[in-house]
Structure 1
Amino acid sequence: MNARSTRGRAPAVSIADAIAAGLAPDGGLYMPETWPSFTPAQFDGADTLADVATRFLAPFFAGGVLADALPTICRDAFVVEPPLVGFGKPSDFLLELFHGPTAAFKDYGAAFLAGCLAALPRGDKPLTILVATSGDTGAAVAAAFHGRPGFRVAILYPDGRVSKRQAHQLGCFGDNIRAFRVDGSFDDCQRLVKTLLADADFRRDVPLGSANSISLGRLLPQAAYYAHASLVHWRATGRALNFVVPTGNLGNALACLLAKRMGLPIGELVLASNANTVLPDFFAGGDYAPQPSIATLANAMDVGAPSNFERLRFLYPDADDLRVTLRAETVSDDQIRAAIVRTRDARAHVVCPHTACAAEVLDRLRARGEQGDWAAVATAHPAKFPDVVEPLVEHDVPPPPCLLAMLQQPSSAEPMGNDADALRARLLDW
């Protein structure tokens, strides 16, 4: 299968080449030219996440250089089964995506991308993976590429706008991983990455790849865990599962929508945003108007210009069609705090600030009389945010073993201005 740019000014390329490139030459995002269509019965006999992912992703890679490697890539990337657990009330569930090596949902897509790139032929120069992060992506990408020959990772994160434990994770790897704390916002970090990826002259000197959700190698595998969760629920109940997805850059929510479009038993999809209201404002009928991001308790969602909105508009050129397909709600910091306490009391779960956004929106939906089976998506372990969570739940939240091991390592990050030339210089001197 081939992929084409959302902007239509670049030639079609294979899915493998799109994953290797990250960004299309015209600055657009790659999307598959066609979309497979499935029925739940086509996954009979595929019980594990790795098995579901292999069947789900196979049509995209059929006939390509990664086709034979796909089962192994999926087996290695989807080792951890994400639990779909009861969420305190009948017909409410929590999809726990934080049981991977860095305790965040980004682990699945990052591991899949690393497996794909490692299986592709490369030149003599190392491939430098650029990743902008608002908290969790960078550590997941670092863990996926750490120690892999032929790869380097440059992590860009907004200085002072990630949690202390997230910052420690980003700087604790060393070796072929470098962390840069940028004087700016996540949107600034994302802009720097896109600027260098679009610089063909620089890429001849320093081969680059992307690991943000602008890469198909991140987006497609994230759809696989929604396929798996919906099938688990369908097989147990015969009913479609609705999702509330906390979102910032829109990659995780778009992945859920793609799984639904391809025929998996997924019902409604509601986006839970923090105080960065670009998406809720659009879905309420306003224009899409990117704006400077606002720092919130749910920092990994602090995005004022979500990259994957371009993919949404590519899929739904008519804004009214898109607004019928998705809904979005905003959650303030005060509502995040209240949701963390209420979720502890009413649902017997301790959640991170991002998951609290989903829990708050789910509570609103139920209060309005929404029926059906709903899953809130838990994107990160609450122990990554002790300064926010522990005072509210009034007890310690022990880190999982993977996070504890990272916190015991030394950590450092290099300060850097919000300047593309400064980033070019650091990479040239690496």
Structure 2
Amino acid sequence: MKLYNLKNKNEIVSFLQAVQMGLGQNQGLFFPTNLPILKKENINNMIQMNFLDRSIKILSMLIGEEIPVEYLEIYVKKAFSFPGPKINPVTSNIACCELFHGPTLAFKDFGARFMAQIIEHLNKNNHTVTILTATSGDTGAAVAHAFYKSKNVRVIILYPKGKISKLQETLFCTLGENITTIAIDGSFDQCQKLVKQAFNDDRLKNKIGLNSANSINISRLLAQVCYFFESYSLITKKNYKNLIISVPCGNFGNLTAGLLAKSMGLPIKSFIAATNSNDTVPRFLKTGKWNPHNCISTISNAMDISRPNNWPRVEELFHRKKWNLNDLGFGSVSDEITCKNLLHLKKIGYISEPHAAIAYKLLNDQIRDDEFGLFLGTAHPAKFKNIIDKILNINIDLPKELYIPSKRPILSRMLKPNFKELKKILIL
């Protein structure tokens, strides 16, 4: 598999190089040179396969011969060793595609755990690797648990202090060992900026073997393609031709993966890019002007991102496939409307959480009578217990994945959004 840098198309690397580098020159994202396309009969055959076998086939097609299939099979089975997507009907033509049945109760388990397997494959010489990543909520836990106690891998996770739920925080800030967590006194965008500054420091990168587990890393993105195929296979055949998928968007990696699945031939009719009040992309799609505002804190904190990293990949894919951006559904939802939709979902028999409620709201508004819609459930409602209990007047039970770490002390250190201070920690 060859990939090119979106900011310097002359920089071409292999899949394993792209995984190892994270970002290219000028902090450019890597994007596949060739996009495989499946014929209709191949799609039909793959839909009949089980999740693991199909995922091995999809990733083998995308990655090529760099990783032998017999190794890839081992990595996929280790990475996806938890329940896959589940379809939960909500109305007659709308269902939630639940992606939160992994070890940290979030969709990010798929990408993070597959990336951990690829890093292990790359690290056969036992060189020290430093994983530096920023999280707005769920990435931190998925990455921390994927790499926890990994030999010669040091993980440093930045997150905005006081702007993720307490239960999200306890999932990854109580581990210790090779996991270092830093609460940044600022927004997620500032955390993300610090990560990019580190990657722009070539001496630092080489000295500590720097890598990132954000969705900027191509291995995470490709792993996510697999569950879109699985989700499609779980709906009834009568809905195959008119499927709309509404994606709660933060850094836009999830939407990018879905669009890659569509580019391969998966017959998804269209997508909806659903955001909260951090609506840079919806405003861009409406006006044609890219004008990020300061980040706003909301109850859907994992989407509190005003400068989404993966948007250039979305634009590149639309350009390459000659798709029209005007065909991409979009919209933004305020906290007030999010609360109303959480209550509405409860009334019709489904307990959700803020991110999925936003995706549901926009899907419910935009779907037509002859279409079938999925909105992605990206995290377990219990991860937002304080919010959900208050809005819905319930006492949601904590699954063991949350209850056990909730009793442990937070091990994070505090830091201003200052790169010089972060660098001191990185080179320790």
Counterpart position of 2:61: 59
Paired residue type of 1:28: G
1:378 matched to which residue of 2?
377
The two structures have a TM-score, normalised by structure 2, of 0.95
Number of corresponding residues: 426
- The Cα shift of 1:370 comes to 4.8
The Cα shift of 1:261 comes to 1.1
| 1:241 partnered with 2:240 | no
Match 2:170 to one of 156, 168, 171: 168
1-structure distance, mates of 2:28, 2:327: 23
Aligned to 1:231: 233
Residue matched to 1:193? 195
Equivalent in the alignment of 1:154 = 156
Matched, 1:417 2:419: no
> 1:47 and 1:404, CA in 2 relative to 1: closer, same or farther beyond 3 A?
farther
Question: Cα 1:123–1:203, aligned 2, differ >3 Å: closer, same or farther?
Answer: farther
Distance 2:161 2:175 in 1: 18
Write the letter of the residue equivalent to 1:352.
E
1:88 matched to 2:116? The reply is: no
CA contact 1:77–1:115 (8 Å) conserved in 2: yes
Listed as ranges, the matches of 1:31-430 within 5 Å are: 31-39=31-39, 41-42=41-42, 43-44=45-46, 47-65=49-67, 67-121=69-123, 125-233=127-235, 235=237, 238-317=240-319, 321-346=323-348, 348-366=349-367, 369-429=368-428
Amino acid at match of 2:333: V
Separation in 2, partners of 1:127, 1:240: 45
1:283-311 CA distance string (max 9 Å, x none): 11331222221111100000010011111
Residue identity in the other structure for 1:116: I
**169 and 322 in structure 1: CA distance in 2 versus 1, 3 angstrom threshold:** farther
**Deviation of 1:26 (Å):** 2.9
Contact in 2 for aligned 1:155/1:179 (Cα 8 Å): yes
On the 8 A contact 2:100/2:380 being kept in 1, the answer is yes
The amino acid that maps onto 1:269 is F
Deviates more, 1:370-379 or 1:284-293: 284-293
Letter in 2 for 1:154: I
Partner SS state of residue 25, structure 2:
coil
Please tell me whether the aligned partners of residues 159 and 183 of structure 1 are also in contact (alpha carbons under 8 angstroms).
yes
Is the partner of 2:270 in helix, strand or coil? strand
SS of the aligned residue for 1:135 comes to: coil
Letter matched to residue 282 of structure 1:
F
Extract unaligned runs of 5+ from structure 2. none
Any unmatched runs of 5+ in structure 1?
A: none
Secondary structure of 2:123's counterpart equals coil
Out of 66-75 and 382-391, give the one that drifted further. 66-75
Distance 2:82 2:41 in 1: 24
Partner amino acid for 2:371? Answer: G
How far residue 225 of structure 1 moved from its aligned partner, in angstroms, is 0.3
1:67 is displaced (CA, Å) by 4.5
Residues 234, 240 of structure 1: 8 Å contact kept? no
Change (3 A) 1:9 1:40: closer
Give the CA deviation at 1:236: 7.0
* TM-score between both structures, scaled by the size of structure 1: 0.94
Stretch deviating more after TM superposition (120-129 or 48-57): 120-129
Shift of 1:65: 3.8
Deviation at 1:403, TM superposition (A): 1.9
1:13-42 deviation digits (Å, cap 9, x = unpaired): 111110111111231000111001114542
How large is the RMSD of aligned CA atoms in angstroms?
2.0
Cα displacement string for residues 330-373 of structure 1 (whole angstroms, at most 9, x for unaligned residues): 00000111011000102x1111110110111122124xx45311
Residues of 2 paired with 1:83 and 1:45: CA distance? 14
Q: Distance in 2 between matches of 1:241 and 1:383?
A: 28
Residue by residue over 1:135-193, the C-alpha shift from the partner in whole angstroms, topping out at 9 and shown as x without a partner, is: 10011000000011011110000011111111222311110001000011101111111
Q: Which moved more, 1:23-32 or 1:299-308?
A: 23-32
Contact 1:15 / 1:60 at 8 angstroms: preserved in 2? Answer: no
Q: Which residue identity lines up with residue 365 of structure 2 in the other structure?
A: R
After superposition, the Cα gap between the structure-2 partners of 1:25 and 1:114, relative to the gap in structure 1 and judged at 3 Å, is: same
Matching residue's letter, 1:344? K
Name the residue aligned to 2:20.
20
* 1:210-243 C-alpha deviation (Å, 9 max, x unpaired): 1000110111111110011113326575435220
Distance 2:91 2:196 in 1: 43
Cα distance 1:304–1:129, how it changes in 2: closer, same or farther (>3 A)? same
Comparing 279-288 with 253-262, greater Cα deviation is found at 279-288
Give the Å deviation of 1:125. Answer: 4.0
Residue identity over aligned pairs, in percent, reads: 32
Deviation at 1:379, TM superposition (A): 0.5
TM-superposed deviation, 1:404: 2.0
The answer on whether the counterparts of 1:40 and 1:231 sit within 8 Å (CA) in structure 2 is no
Q: How far apart are residue 80 of structure 1 and its match? A: 2.7
Please state whether the residue corresponding to 1:81 is helix, strand or coil: coil
| Separation in structure 1 between the aligned mates of residue 29 and residue 391 of structure 2, nearest angstrom | 40
Matches of 1:373 and 1:381 in 2, distance apart? 23
Quickly say closer, same or farther: Cα 1:75–1:236, change in 2 above 3 A.
farther
Q: 1:339·1:356 contact (CA, 8 Å) conserved in 2?
A: yes
